[in-house]
Structures are given as C-alpha cells and as structure tokens.
Amino acid sequence: MQQKEDIALILDFLPNGYFGQGKRIPIAQAIGKENFTLLHLVPRKGITLKLKEEVYIGSGKRDKINFIQGRISGNKLTETAKTQLAEFITQVLNNEGKRFVEFFNKAEPINTRLHQLELLPGFGKKHTKMIISSREDKVFESFEDIKQRIKNIPDPKKSIEKRLLEEIETQPKYRLFTS
C-alpha cells in the first residue's frame, strides 16, 4: 500500500506551468522526504516556492500547497528537478547513512534465485555471499566498514545512490527503498 507523505522537498517550481498547457497554473515538482514519492504540487494563489524548500503536504491545513495534483514519473521531471533530485539523494545518504547501512545488515532473499543485495548496481552472487558471511560475524557500522571488510566491493554508498535514483525514476518490479 502506498504510504502518504507529510513533507515534500521542492525540486522545481514552474510559476507559469508547463509550456503548451491550456490553462497555465503554477506547478511544483517535488519529492516526498519519507517514501521518496515524486509529486506534482499546486501552490496556493500568490505563493512562490523555492528550490529545496520543504513544504507540508499532509492532511490538515497546508500553508503553501493548495492540492497535490498527483504522482509523476521520473521521465516527466525537468532538468532542474533531475539535478535537485540527485543532490537530495546525496544529502539523504550523508544524513541518514545508518538507515542504508542497516540494509546491508538485514537484506534477505527475495526468492530462491535472487537476493535483495543483488539488486544493487555492481553486486552479484559473489559479493552477496561475502556480505552475508561477514555480517554473521559482526554487523556493519558504516559504508567505510563495509568497504574495509569486503575486498573488491563496489562503493556501497554509490550503489545505494544509483539504486535509489533508479527506483524513484523508473518504478522497477522490486523496490528496496521506495514504496
């Protein structure tokens, strides 16, 4: 079930809406901070939104957002929004790294042939076996810890970053970090 977002980060604000649109209303492209949902937001009349601004979109009175027009797919993002999205993901990984390191400690098989770790770019069965073996001895404490204990592993932080972008932009069959 899709979880609702309470706070969104503005990725791009188009005060005149999209070019070629009939009635041109201001629109914002945003991402939910908790579940990484891409959204179209319509601001209240007279409100101008800034890039990277956090806005309340939960139930109840919203001070800057009139309504949520709906979800958007990654291929509909403007170039500005794509740049802001990449920066947002880097910031999330820097601020909430522990949340993603826990993934390496708790990742499980999806089925008999595929493990969650194998969905990360650059990770295959060999890396998965090494990670599982190493975490049985001691849980991972940081991305650096993973890199130190597993030789020749792709950069775990970069792999998570690529996977997050892929999940947000393309909505793959298996999702590790988005809902």
- Architecture of the 7-72 domain: Beta Barrel (2.40)
User: How many whole angstroms separate alpha carbon 12 and alpha carbon 20?
Assistant: 18
> Consecutive 10-residue runs of the chain (179 residues): their mean pLDDT?
82 86 84 92 94 93 93 92 95 92 96 95 94 95 95 94 92 86
Domain boundaries defined on the chain: 7-72, 96-170
Is residue 9 within 8 Å of 52, Cβ to Cβ? Answer: yes
- Architecture of the 96-170 domain: Orthogonal Bundle (1.10)
The pLDDT assigned to 18 comes to: 79
The pLDDT assigned to 169 comes to: 87
The pLDDT assigned to 67 comes to: 92
- For residue 60, give every residue at least 6 positions away whose Cβ sits within 8 Å of its Cβ, in sequence order, or none: none
7-72 and 96-170 in the same fold: no
